[in-house]
Amino acid sequence: MHMKTPIYLDYNATTPADKRVLETMLPYFTEKFGNSSSRTHSFGWIAEDAVKTARQQVADLINCLEQEVIFTSGSTEAINLAIKGVWENYQLKGKHIITVKTEHKAVLDTCEILEKKGATITYLNVDREGVIDLQELKNALTPQTILVAIMYANNETGVIQPIKEIADLVHTNNSLFFCDATQVVGKINIDVQEEHIDIMCLSAHKFYGPKGVGALYVRRKDPRVTLSPQIDGGGHERGLRSGTLNVTGIVGLGKACEIAKLDMWDDSARISKLRTRLEQFLCELPNTYINGSTKNRLFNTTNICFQGNRSETIIKKIPNIAVAMGSACTSAIAEPSHVLKAMGLSDEDTYSSIRFSIGKYTTEAEIKETIETVKNAIL
C-alpha cells in the first residue's frame, strides 16, 4: 500500500535543502572537486574562490567581516570551539561561566565538561514565559566571569531572549558574550554589530542548507576574541579548525545565506500567518495552552500543552503529521524536556506538550489538515 508522505512540521529539527542550494552545490562534487588548500593548480583555486564567496555570503547575512567566519561541521562543533576556546584562553581573568538552564544540550554538556575541569558555572533560571531575568544575570556577573553563553531563541519553544540588554550587561562587566543563534540565523535578521555579539554559531541545515556544515562568528575587534583549536592538524581556518574544508557543504551554506537574506521577510510574514492560524484553532480545544512567551518568539514555532493528553499518545494517533515532543535532539531519551521543566511546567504537562515548527514549504492546506487531525485525535 502506498503511504502518503506525512506533513512536515518539524522545521526546527532540520529543513530540506532549497533546490537552488542543491544546484549550486552539485558541480563541487564533480568537475569542481578541488581541495581549497591546493595552491598549485586551478582545481584548488576554483575551490578556494567558492569558499571565499561562501564566507562573504555568511558575513553579509550577519553583518561581520569575512575573516571573522570560521567554518565548522555545524553548531555543535562551533559551540565546543567557542566555549572551550574561551575557557582555554581567559583563565588568567577567571574561571566563571554563566549560561541558562534552557540552553541546547550542546551548550549544557560542554559546560558540564568544563565544570569537571575546574570551571564554575552559573545556570540562570527562566520565568514561566521562558525568559531570563536581567537582574539575575547582573547579580551573577563577577570580575571572574569570562563568558556568558545565552541562546538567541529556544529550539523547543521559540522564545527569544533580550539579546541587546544581555550584551550590554556582559560588556559592562568586560566579559565575552557567546550566542547560540542556530534557530534564528536565516529566519530573522541578525546584525552582530548592532546586537554586539562576540561569538555566535549557526548551522546550514536549519535554514534550507545541507547538514554537517555551519560556522562560528568570532569578533576581531571591540573586543578581539582569542580562541584555541579543538581540532589540530594543518592550520586551516586561521588555525582554529584544521581539516580539508567541506567545500560542497560550505558552498551550500553560503547559498542558503544568500537566499535567506533575500527571502526571509516574505517567508516570515507568510509562515507567521500559518502559525497564528494553527494556534488559534488548536487553542480552542479544552485545557490547551501555549508554552512560553507569545510576545517575543520565533514566528515559526509553537509549543502547545494539551493538558491531560500524553503527547506520545497524540503523536501515535496523528501518523500523517511529523512533529516533535520535547526537542528532536533529546527525544531519543524518554526524559521530560529540560526546557519546559525549567519554565516551571509539571512533569505531566511537559509530557503533554508538542512542538510544531513551520517552514517555507508549509502550505495552508497542510495547516488546515493538521488542525483537523489534531482535533480529532484529542476530542
Catalytic residue IDs? 329
**How many CA within 13 A on the CB side of residue 260?**
28
**Cβ atoms of residues 319 and 154 within 8 Å:** no
Please tell me whether residue 74 binds ligand PLP under the rule CB under 6 A: yes
Cα–Cα distance, 147 to 140 (Å, whole number): 12
How many other C-beta atoms are found inside a 10 Å radius of the C-beta of residue 174?
12
Please tell me whether residue 75 binds ligand PLP under the rule CB under 6 A: yes
Q: How far is the CB of 33 from ligand PLP (least distance, A)?
A: 24
By beta-carbon proximity to ligand PLP, the closer residue of 113 and 377 is 113
Please tell me whether residue 183 binds ligand PLP under the rule CB under 6 A: yes
Please tell me whether residue 180 binds ligand PLP under the rule CB under 6 A: yes
Looking at residues 184 to 223 of the shown chain, list those that interact with ligand PLP (rule: CB under 6 A). 203, 214
User: In the beta sheet, which residues pair with residue 198?
Assistant: none
**Phi then psi for 279, rounded to 5 degrees?**
-65, -45
Please tell me whether residue 173 binds ligand PLP under the rule CB under 6 A: no
Looking at residue 314, its amino acid is: I
By beta-carbon proximity to ligand PLP, the closer residue of 150 and 378 is 150
301-306 β-sheet, strand order: 288-290, 301-306, 353-357
How many residues sit in the footprint of ligand PLP (CB under 6 A)? 13
Q: How far is the CB of 360 from ligand PLP (least distance, A)?
A: 18
Task: Give the residue among 108, 219, 86 at the shortest CA–CA distance from 155.
Answer: 108
**How many CA within 13 A on the CB side of residue 106?**
23
Please tell me whether residue 345 binds ligand PLP under the rule CB under 6 A: no
Q: How far is the CB of 307 from ligand PLP (least distance, A)?
A: 26
Question: And the C-alpha cell for 55?
Answer: 564566507
What angle, 0 to 180 degrees and rounded to 10, lies between the N-to-C axes of helices 364-378 and 247-282?
50
Cα–Cα distance, 217 to 178 (Å, whole number): 10
Please tell me whether residue 329 binds ligand PLP under the rule CB under 6 A: yes
DSSP per residue, 42-75: HHHHHHHHHHHHHHHHHHHHHT--GGGEEEESSH
Stretch near ligand PLP under the rule CB under 6 A, chosen from 68-76, 117-125, 281-289, 317-325? 68-76
Of 57, 110, 155, 161, the one binding ligand PLP by CB under 6 A? 155
Cα–Cα distance, 130 to 336 (Å, whole number): 16
Conformation bin of residue 108: beta by default, left when phi > 0, alpha when psi is -120 to 50: alpha
By beta-carbon proximity to ligand PLP, the closer residue of 34 and 85 is 85
By beta-carbon proximity to ligand PLP, the closer residue of 134 and 329 is 329
Q: How far is the CB of 319 from ligand PLP (least distance, A)?
A: 24
232 CB-near residues (< 8 Å, 6+ apart): 242
Q: Is the peptide bond before 143 cis (omega within 30 degrees of 0)?
A: no
Stretch near ligand PLP under the rule CB under 6 A, chosen from 74-82, 216-224, 293-301, 302-310? 74-82
Q: How far is the CB of 111 from ligand PLP (least distance, A)?
A: 13
Binding mask 101-140 for ligand PLP (x = CB under 6 A): ---x-x----------------------------------
Q: How far is the CB of 224 from ligand PLP (least distance, A)?
A: 25
Where on the chain is the footprint of ligand PLP (CB under 6 A)?
A: 74-76, 104, 106, 151, 155, 180, 182-183, 203, 214, 329
